[in-house]
Amino acid sequence: MPNCCATLAICVFRSPDCCASFAKLLCHIDDLRAQIAKLLCHIGDLLCQFGDRRVRIALQDYAIAKLLCRIDDLRMQIALQRCAICLATLCER
């Protein structure tokens, strides 16, 4: 394999679809993390205003959001690996 610079710029130039999907995943993960932060604030509000029942529901929503975030973290890792394979293939050419 020739000594090449496997940068995101090369990936964007040679394989825009790969990097576009990766960028979308990053945005989606950020959205989920923002939702988790909102849920944490909501849990705090519920603790101040209401009883245990609503807090339990909010905690369940938070747990679901964390799971979704974990799934997207795994998807991002897969996208990164695909991008790396794509770059390695391009570098061999």
Q: What is the pLDDT of residue 1?
A: 34
Please name the residues in contact with 36: beta carbons below 8 A apart, sequence gap of 6 or more.
62, 65, 66, 69
Domain membership of residue 71 as a residue range: 8-92
| Mean pLDDT, residues 12-36 taken together | 67
Cβ contact 78:18 at 8 Å: no
**Considering its fold, how many domains does the chain have in total?**
1
pLDDT category, 6, cuts 50, 70, 90? Answer: very low
In a domain, 68, yes or no: yes
Cα–Cα distance measured from residue 52 to residue 50, given in angstroms and rounded to the nearest whole number: 7
Q: How many CA atoms lie within 13 A of 70 on its CB side?
A: 6
Is residue 38 a part of any domain in this protein? yes
Return mean pLDDT, the chain: 69
Look at residue 5 in the predicted model and tell me its pLDDT.
40
**Assigned domain for 42 exists:** yes
Q: Say what the pTM is.
A: 0.41
* pLDDT per residue as tens digits for the range 42-83: 777 777 676 667 777 777 887 887 777 778 778 777 777 777
